[in-house]
Structure 1
């Protein structure tokens, strides 16, 4: 049985849960209490020395990092649709995974952490990164439905959560029609699940 060590408010955990649901994979949820620093205990650090969630356990292996977990699940259980093998498409998916770990993390995810959890940040930098990212996404989706191929891939799932949670970082998506259409496509897919904050 797959085990997912997670926290309900984490967009990075949510993207993994979303793929698990789309792939119709059963798993056991292991809630990690971040408020009590459970992710910094010796038992958790033995699974992920970086002390971060999510962590996935499957078939005796442990995987850290949401982007890496998406790749593993897609390649192990999803065929070539979720992680295409054509070299250009593979490279483009990896580039978007890097964007999720970089610009998405430094932009909308950081703004959300500031306004939702009170985390001190460089507010102007986070706003600037977010505005640039949204502009790039809006342009990318102006003539295609998905970020890489003509169907959804893990690139879309890697980017989606913190864009969908933008309102919690006081970012208005009203002027980004292509992004909102893209989000709606994901939300209308069979197997879609939500997370705290998305229903607001």
Structure 2
């Protein structure tokens, strides 16, 4: 199994984190984003969208970070991470959609401004980040995990960009439930950290 990734991509970190949590032995292949390697003809054969991560499971190619999480959970039979019952599956899907929507357009976009020089309106995306962090803070009131009574791929999908939100100048200090949840994620066996940069503001304790 091979994972095409970049260490500063939160989407790629989702996939790498879940691979590690599952204890899967995978070859990590770094894609040079600065050299636009993701736009090379060879890489575009793997993912025509020119994005990381991409999983190559002995010729089965899976692009998109959330799709990779679902694929790995299904392949390994990890029902704890992806419930099979309708209610549980729907709860997880709801938060995968949040990861692809509000997280991408909030804390992810804010971090893209500072780390990669993306031309978003910084104030707008920071405000979006605080809106979704506030909603997740409320969701975690009185519970340990976002979609079930145990960690699921929903937690994995949300983790990376929330953990590094301060790099996008998004202050997490007011979100005690979120910060406690991050620490629970980081205590899971097999956890692998998302590479830090020196950009942004100090992380909340």
Q: Which band: TM-score by shorter chain?
A: over 0.9
Structure-1 residue corresponding to 2:118: 119
Structure-1 residue corresponding to 2:153: 154
Between 147-156 and 87-96, report the one with greater CA deviation: 87-96
Structure-1 residue corresponding to 2:67: 68
How much does 1:43 deviate? 0.7
Structure-2 residue corresponding to 1:30: 29
- Paired residues for 1:22-101 under 5 Å: 22-101=21-100
Contact 1:164 1:198 in 2 (8 A): no
How much does 1:25 deviate? 0.3
Contact 1:4 1:29 in 2 (8 A): yes
- Residues in 2 aligned to 1:156 and 1:76: alpha-carbon distance in whole angstroms: 19
Instruction: Tell me if 1:16 matches 2:15.
Output: yes
Deviations 1:10-42 (A, max 9, x none): 111111111111110000111111111110011
- Residues in 1 aligned to 2:123 and 2:149: alpha-carbon distance in whole angstroms: 35
Q: Secondary structure at the match of 2:46?
A: coil
Q: Secondary structure at the match of 1:4?
A: strand
- Residues in 2 aligned to 1:78 and 1:8: alpha-carbon distance in whole angstroms: 27
- Residues in 2 aligned to 1:195 and 1:156: alpha-carbon distance in whole angstroms: 14
Structure 1: gaps spanning 5 or more residues: none
Structure 2: gaps spanning 5 or more residues: none
Q: Secondary structure at the match of 1:195?
A: coil
How many residue pairs are counted as aligned between the two chains? 199
TM-score normalised over the length of structure 1 = 0.96
TM-score normalised over the length of structure 2 = 0.93
Q: What RMSD in Å do the two structures reach over aligned CA positions?
A: 1.3
Structure-1 residue corresponding to 2:186: 187
How much does 1:198 deviate? 7.5
